[in-house]
A and B are shown apart, each in its own frame.
Chain A
């Protein structure tokens, strides 16, 4: 059983299209995240949800819209894709949030998005 699973694993699409990536965790965690990893390997946090409530929303274009239907799922929808959106997108979950209560992150296998 995969703890954090995300689909699809690969996405190749044209500029201007809309795409979605789905994520599910079966660990019973309260907090879920979306990270973007660029070609230089930098892991940049995009969003975080705690019990379906948005708690982190970094400076991400509003073409990116997360949705959490329940605490086990966090999906990412991207409108009007641009070349610069090409990256690997990782979903992650943790039991804790941050501060002294930071939990370890469990990552999905990643979704590699290529925008042509």
Chain B
């Protein structure tokens, strides 16, 4: 079945540093979604990428979808304490059930 690997599992940064989380799929994806879960909260949808090589920005967040549609990344520029949380990718492809990556927990030190 489809697997979505996400790294790193944890990332500690100083406030103001950049942060990136990566997702890789064992199969070609139709699309990939990104979610953010604040501590004690529930996952909240951030964005969906559909096209090969697509890049989308939301303020300090940049989302990329690889040319082969097998990998994706989320990059945060100049992290702030409000960015703390766990970021998940969710890949969908063909007849496979959409699968979440294991998440990257971002810890921002002031």
Contacts and interface: CB of A to CB of B under 8 A. Distances in A.
Nearest to A105: B45
Interface residues of B, number: 26
B68 interface: no
A103 to B, nearest CB: 9
B102 A106 contact: no
Interface stretch (B17-25, B59-67, B88-96): B88-96
B78 interface: no
A108 B102 contact: no
Contacts of A58: 97
Interface in B63-104: 86, 88, 90, 92-100, 102-103
Prevailing SS type, chain B contact patch: strand
A5 B88 CA distance: 22
A106 B45 contact: yes
Contacts of B33: 102, 104-105
Contacts of B96: 98
Interface in B31-78: 31, 33, 35, 37, 41-45, 48
Contacts of A104: 33, 45, 48
B44 A98 contact: no
B82 to A, nearest CB: 19
Contacts of A41: 37, 86, 102-103, 105
**Which 3 A-B residue pairings sit nearest by Cβ, starting from the closest?**
A102-B92, A107-B42, A104-B45
